[in-house]
Amino acid sequence: MPAIAQQPGVTSKSIKIGAFGALTGPGYLYGQLVMNGVEVVFDQVNAAGGVHGRKLELVREDDRCDPAAAIGAVQKLIHQQKVFALIGGGCSNATLAARDVIETSKIPTLINASVHDGITTPPAANIFSAALTATIESEAQLDFALKQGAKRIAVISMRDGWGRGRYTPLMAYFKAKGVTPVADEELTPDANDATAQVLRLKAANVDAVIMVLYPKPAAVFMRDASKFAFKPLAIGQTGIADPKAFEEQVGIPGAITQFRTIAMVKFTPEDSAVDNWRKLIETKFPGDRLSVFNLVGVGSAQVFVEALKNAGPNPTWDSMTAALANIKDLNIDVYPGPISCSLADHRCNRVPAWLAKDPGKPVRVLPSSGG
């Protein structure tokens, strides 16, 4: 096997960047839509002349949320398309499966949507993440519940790779805090009814429930909970990052007044602060509506471009990897906190934003003290 050159994908006029994630199948939200966000940032950068005079070209590959397909996608990008760097990673198990291939190849990589801790811990020299990792979010969820004074906390989770990736650190954190969850229920991603779960939680006098769920099962849960006038503090995470959309999905007015959720991105799509991104997305992808998934791509792409600029006018894999490791206190419009990587810790995004929504009012960002 010939050694891979230090500068594949770089010509005098362009740089090829690879993106992998689900383009088809249910994971496409964390793949295709995130990549759309990345692409509009690249378009903007290209319109302003590119990075050191080179235009950015995004090459997408589908992993269908499947481990084998992810390995194939990454192999194709690295060995066939010969891209300069990778930005992507959607479904956790798929990205985890591809991690070894990426690590062995040494290609500079920024993960933007996969949250499983195993991707960044222990750190691989060339893999960085702009996604809030599962541990950070799960710990934030329990901290929030405790800070609000909850005494009987329950957990309701999905058992797939995404769910387990959050559930495991959550349970470990419960133990570390000396708290035992009063109930531990499961809900499947396609569930249409959560009566059994709600009844059990209600019987256990739960005052706060940590939801490790996608919006659909979470909406079903909240809908059935309101049926029984059961209104605990409901704590979501970045899977449910758009409280306005969530309110519509639940469908019952007033059902989400006790709902609080974490967002990786501090704006929801209808916020005027992201008007420029909305215009770019809805022009380039007619029929689409700006979503938080797009914004995740937007934020990560800005981090990526910054690193690429810092990699110098003659970027190599070494200089790009070093540039990623040296990102410090970078403020990106859509992320709530500054982005900082380091050699020891490749998780660059550590600050969750907390969101809530009251009926008839816009989504509000909670002050960091909660409430």
Partner 1 sequence: MILFSYLLMSGVTTGALYALVALGLVVVNKATGVINFAQGEFFMFSGFVAWVLHVQLGLNYAVTFLFTIAIGFGLGALTDRIAFRPIAKADVVSLVLATVGIAFVLKGIARVLWGGKGDYLSFPSITSPDPITVFGLMVIPQQLAVLAGTIVILILFAAFFRLTRAGKMMQATADNAKAAVLVGIQTDKIYTLAFGTGAAIAAAAAVLTAPITLLYPDLGFPIFLKGFAAAVMGGLMSLPGAVLGGVILGVAESLAGGYIHSSVMELSPFIVIMIVLVFRPNGLFGFQTSRRV
Partner 2 sequence: MAPFRRRNVLLVLLAIAIIVPPFANYYYLFVANLVAIYVLLAIGLNILVGYTGQLAFANAAMFGIGAYATGLLQVRLGWSFWLAFPVGGVIAAAVGLAISLPALRLKGLYLALSTLAFAQATQWVFLHWDAVTFGAGGFKTPPLSFDPLPISKPLGLYYLSLLLAVVLFLFAQNLVASRVGRAFIALRDSDFAAESLGVDLLRYKALAFGVSGFYAGIAGGLNSALLNFVAPEGFDLFQMVLQKAMIVVGGLGSIVGSLLGAGIIVILLEVLREVKGLQEIVFGALLVIFVLFMRGGLVGLLKRKVRGWEEPLRLVSRRVRPKQSETSQTAARTEKADS
* Under rule CB under 8 A, residue 28 binds partner 2: yes
Rounded distance between C-alpha atoms, residue 342 and residue 194, angstroms: 43
Q: Residue 33's binding partner, choosing from partner 2, partner 1, none, with beta-carbon cut-off 5 to 8 A by kind? A: partner 1
**CA-CA-CA-CA torsion sign (184, 188, 194, 196):** negative
Q: Residue 252's binding partner, choosing from partner 2, partner 1, none, with beta-carbon cut-off 5 to 8 A by kind? A: partner 1
Give the residue, chosen from 21, 215, 232, 315, that forms a contact with partner 1 under the rule CB under 8 A: 215
Q: How far is the CB of 38 from partner 2 (least distance, A)?
A: 14
H helical segments located in 85-184: 92-105, 134-147, 161-176
316 by Cβ neighbours in 10 Å (0-12 / 13-18 / 19+) ranks as: middle
User: What are the backbone angles phi and psi of residue 9, rounded to the nearest 5°?
Assistant: 75, 0
Q: Residue 202's binding partner, choosing from partner 2, partner 1, none, with beta-carbon cut-off 5 to 8 A by kind? A: none
* Under rule CB under 8 A, residue 193 binds partner 1: yes
Q: Which stretch, 38-46, 58-66, 124-132, 276-284, contacts partner 2 (CB under 8 A)?
A: 58-66
CB 352 within 8 A of CB 141: no
By beta-carbon proximity to partner 2, the closer residue of 37 and 72 is: 72
Q: How far is the CB of 22 from partner 2 (least distance, A)?
A: 10
Does an H or E element contain 354, and which? strand 353-356
Complete edge-to-edge strand list for the sheet that includes strand 85-88: 55-62, 14-21, 85-88, 109-111, 127-129
Does an H or E element contain 46, and which? helix 32-47
Within residues 121-160, the interface with partner 2 by CB under 8 A covers 159-160
Binding mask 73-112 for partner 2 (x = CB under 8 A): x-xx-xxx----------xxxx-xx--x------------
Rounded distance between C-alpha atoms, residue 190 and residue 338, angstroms: 36
* Under rule CB under 8 A, residue 42 binds partner 2: no
Q: Hey, which residues does 60 pair with through a beta bridge?
A: 19
Within residues 274-303, the interface with partner 1 by CB under 8 A covers 285, 287-289, 291, 293
By beta-carbon proximity to partner 1, the closer residue of 32 and 138 is: 32
Q: How far is the CB of 147 from partner 2 (least distance, A)?
A: 29
Q: How far is the CB of 76 from partner 2 (least distance, A)?
A: 5
Give the residue, chosen from 6, 8, 25, 55, that forms a contact with partner 2 under the rule CB under 8 A: 25
CB 112 within 8 A of CB 130: yes
Cα angle, residue 92 at apex, residues 251 and 104 outer, rounded to 5°: 160
Q: Residue 65's binding partner, choosing from partner 2, partner 1, none, with beta-carbon cut-off 5 to 8 A by kind? A: partner 2
Q: Which stretch, 9-17, 41-49, 161-169, 343-351, contacts partner 2 (CB under 8 A)?
A: 161-169
CB 335 within 8 A of CB 266: yes
Distances from the Cα of 331 to the Cα of 107, 200, 310, 337, 351, angstroms: 25, 44, 15, 7, 12
* Under rule CB under 8 A, residue 226 binds partner 1: yes
* Under rule CB under 8 A, residue 32 binds partner 1: yes
User: What are the backbone angles phi and psi of residue 128, rounded to the nearest 5°?
Assistant: -125, 160
Angle between helices 67-75 and 92-105 (to 10 degrees): 30
The footprint of partner 2 (CB under 8 A) covers: 1, 23-25, 28, 32, 60-62, 64-69, 71-73, 75-76, 78-80, 91-94, 96-97, 100, 116, 118, 159-161, 163-165, 168
The footprint of partner 1 (CB under 8 A) covers: 24-26, 28-29, 32-33, 36, 159, 185-188, 190-193, 195-197, 199-200, 203, 214-216, 219-220, 223-224, 226-228, 245, 248-249, 251-253, 285, 287-289, 291, 293
